[in-house]
Amino acid sequence: MTQPPPPPAGFGPPPDDSSGDRPSQPPQPPSAPQMPPTPPQGTGPTPPTPVQNARPTPPAPPAGPPQPAPGYGYPQAPQPPAPPAGYGYPQAPQPPQPAPGYGYPQAPQTPQPPAGYGYPGQPAAPNPYAQQPGPYGGSPYSGYGYPGHPGAPSTAPMAPQAGGSGGGSREKKKQLTIIVAAVAAIALIVGGGIWYTASFGGDTKHSADSDGTTDDKGGASAGSAKEKVPADPSSTVLFQVPSPTVSDTINAPGSWLTDTVYAKSGVAEVVGYDRDKGTKLWTIKLPGPVCEASTHMTADGRTAIVYEPAMPTKDDPTHGCSQIAALDLKAGKKLWTQTVKAGDELETFDNITVSADAVAVGSSSGGAAFGIADGKARWLPKPDGDCYDSGYAGGAKLVAVRKCGTYGERVLHIQTVDPKTGKVLSDYTMAQGIEDAAVISTDPLVVAADAGGTAKGSAISDFFSIDNTTGKLRTHISVTGDIYAVDCDSIYHAEDCTNAVVGNDRLYVSTERHGGSADSDTNEIVAFDLATGKQTGQRADAGDDWEIYPLRMDGPDIIAYKSPPWDKGAQVVSIDGDTFKQTVLMQNPATDEVRDIEMDFSPDTSEFRYGQGRLFMAEDYVHEPSSYGKDYLVVAYGTDS
């Protein structure tokens, strides 16, 4: 996998996040390369960069994915070794090595985190491709779609290729994180701050149910599935919103889907669109770009954003992300705007979320919260030694990621707090040395982290299932990033993870692409039990030359997006939470014109929202027009029934 570019001279590892704001402008997109003259033969699809206009096409559902090659789940998956002595617990016996048949000669063993990152004796996760023995295998907050992720352009051009999103998009995102971390130090001179997150009321990432309420990527009470299977899943393009013409890259994070409107951030505005026609229903004008957008909203369609007080200029490329506002997405109006002062200066914030009737913001200066209806402050940043609330995750509960200590000696506290008072209800202390963590679900509470920089491929090496009431660790799941595709932008954001959702007291994650049958590539979604940390044996195969990504929960079922081979159109499927049977909810057209546009969007880096037979894909930034085709801010698909 391509290595991310090094930071500018003079900058080493990512700076301490207590250093201040990030720049509000992501790197400029490269000029788009030429499309290959013919579709690639003999290899699986590779995702395009989010800025390039390499575009996709939809198919008819395959007649059932072929069985994976021997070893990808059959027979016994190799078990990674237990932690070495000094890990904090007695030396565990090593399991025998598996016989060839994992798909390659000797299956590589999962590397263990270094001493000091030990946790209560949980075994490392088994090979995700393995079919384990066992059965086949909502909160009031969240939108139809699921949370999206920052999709700023990669600095390294990549030729667009046929197929869907995958490891390439995740790698671009990691490159951007490193670049932004380095640029953040420079930004201290001029001030600044940037980021985003999106979802209909609730993923990373989250989404809303078809009744307009939000549903986190998890939820203590699943309820029943609300998405109906259409008589004909074939979709048509409902509308497209061209990307606004700008002379520089402007942040535009935020997508929400209610039962009456699809809302999207644009250039210094938030616009509400008719869900079927794409006509503008209302526009909320802002003085500057949106920096952050909550991935959750309340049942009555209220959410929150952070934005700049003015538009960037050449002399002032950022004015700081200091303006906190609540929005009524059904009425199409801004409810209030608040700021927080530190002396004579305005505080800037890195993230924002909504839980119950509270809007919470976090930063390296600490956290604050306001009533979503009236904007009254419930708590403000206050000195507490070297500890501060760097970010909050919302939805069913409000969870703070509290950082104590300096970079290199960091101790993180994962705290469930009362959204009305800020009172800490439970506290879990992570092992010292874990610098950053992201919350995948607040109820049940699931946290992701890269313990000691040991992750490969994706940015996550460990998951933690935590009891919300007691703050005790339920189970610890250690994984390897070259097998699992979960990625989190956890340096500045408390809830920004892709390719992972929580439901049924299970963690559902997608694997990285790997060889399928013949010369194809594929991947799958697998499940971990949050009580035991073990795989359940459930597995949803993408099929040869397809890739599958979980978007959100729909009651007990999983809503997933399937990126297609070069000659087919994408699908949205529902995965039964018990049998893991896939049902096609939407089949997008396979025409070149439709595919070319769809290929611009990736569930790794774009905002995907699905509900009631409609799929919305959107970018979270606007950039200069490219010389290759037309750029779109939003594209929407829908079925007739």
Q: Which two tokens stand for residue 215?
A: 């549903």
Residue 241: phi, psi to the nearest 5?
A: -110, 110
Q: Match 């390439």 to its residue by tokens.
A: 168
pLDDT tens-digit profile of 80-101? Answer: 444 444 333 334 444 444 333 3
pLDDT, position 333: 97
* Token pair recorded at residue 122: 């949980």
What is the DSSP code string of 552-612? EEETTEEEEEEE--TTS--EEEEE-TTT--EEEEEE----HHHHHHHTT--TTTSEEEEET
Cβ(438)–Cβ(177) below 8 Å = no
- 107: its two tokens: 């299956």
Q: What are phi and psi of 335, to 5 degrees?
A: -80, -40
The closest alpha carbon to 537, from 524, 522, 550, 552, belongs to: 524
Residue in 636, 624, 622, 635 with CA at minimum distance from that of residue 32: 624
pLDDT of residue 222: 63
Nearest to 486 by CA among 514, 515, 517, 455: 455
Alpha helices in 196-259 (DSSP H): none
**pLDDT computed for residue 570 by the predictor:** 97
pLDDT at 237: 97
| CA–CA dist 286, 321 (Å, integer) | 13
> What is the SS3 assignment for 517-543?
CCCCEECEEEEEECCCCCEEEEEEECC
Contact call for residues 279 and 260 (beta carbons, < 8 A)? no
* The pLDDT of residue 12: 39
Statement: residue 241 has pLDDT above 90: yes
Mean pLDDT of 367-394: 95
User: Which of 108-122, 478-492, 534-548, 565-579 has the least mean pLDDT?
Assistant: 108-122
Question: Beta-carbon neighbour count of residue 285 at 10 Å?
Answer: 10
Residue 112 binned pLDDT confidence (cut-offs 50, 70, 90): very low
Residue with tokens 């993870």: 497
User: Using an 8 Å Cβ cutoff, are 109 and 80 in contact?
Assistant: yes
397-406 tens-digit pLDDT? 999 999 999 8
* Residue 374 burial by Cβ neighbours in a 10 Å radius (0-12, 13-18, 19+): exposed
Q: What is the mean pLDDT of residues 573-589?
A: 98
Residue 308 has pLDDT above 50, yes or no: yes
Query: Is the Cβ–Cβ distance between 411 and 429 less than 8 Å?
Result: yes
pLDDT over 70 (residue 386): yes
Model pLDDT, residue 89:
37
For 280, residues 6+ apart whose C-beta sits below 8 A from its C-beta are: 271, 272, 273, 274
pLDDT(296) > 80: yes
In whole angstroms, what is the distance from residue 510 CA to residue 512 CA?
7
Mean pLDDT of all residues in 457-469: 87
Delineate the domains of the chain, giving CATH numbers in brackets.
17-79+108-639 (2.130.10.10)
- Which pLDDT belongs to residue 206? 35
Between 177-186, 509-518, 628-637, the lowest mean confidence (pLDDT) is in 177-186
The mean predicted confidence, pLDDT, of the chain is 76
pLDDT at 125 (0 to 100) = 53
Q: Which of 179-188, 243-252, 402-411, 470-479 bottoms out in mean pLDDT, i.e. has the lowest?
A: 179-188
pLDDT at 66: 43
Q: Residue 27: is its pLDDT beyond 80? A: no
Q: Specify whether the CB–CB gap between 448 and 494 falls below 8 A.
A: no
Q: How far apart are CA 135 and CA 152, in angstroms?
A: 41
Q: What is the pLDDT of residue 368?
A: 98
Q: Is the pLDDT of residue 22 over 90?
A: no
Take residue 593 and report the two structure tokens written for it: 């014109």
Q: In this structure, are residues 574 and 585 in contact, taking their beta carbons and an 8 Å threshold?
A: yes
Which of 86-95, 366-375, 496-505, 551-560 bottoms out in mean pLDDT, i.e. has the lowest? 86-95
Choice among 150-154, 217-221, 533-537, 625-629 with the minimum mean pLDDT: 150-154
Residue 173 and residue 260 in contact, taking contact as beta carbons nearer than 8 Å: no
> pLDDT band for position 130 (50/70/90)?
low
Cβ within 8 Å of residue 313, ≥6 positions away: none
Q: Is 191 helix (H, G, I), strand (E, B) or coil?
A: coil
Count Cα atoms within 13 angstroms, Cβ side, for 134.
18
DSSP3 helix / strand / coil % (the chain, rounded to 5): 5, 35, 60
Both tokens of 121, joined, read 């004796």
Query: Mean pLDDT over residues 458-469, rounded?
Result: 90
The token pair at 426 is 């439970």
Task: Name the most confidently modeled range: 182-191, 239-248, 452-461.
Answer: 239-248
Whole-model pTM: value is 0.72
Question: SS3 of 454, please?
Answer: coil
Average pLDDT over residues 161-172: 38
Does pLDDT of 298 surpass 70? Answer: yes
Task: Give the Cα separation of 164 and 29 in Å (integer).
Answer: 20
Least confident of 25-29, 182-186, 264-268, 281-285: 182-186
Q: What's the average model confidence in pLDDT over 483-499?
A: 91
What pLDDT is attached to residue 143?
40
Q: Is the pLDDT of residue 117 over 50?
A: no
More confident residue, 445 or 178: 445
User: Could you report the per-residue pLDDT of 51-81, keeping only the tens digit for each?
Assistant: 333 334 444 444 444 444 433 333 334 444 4
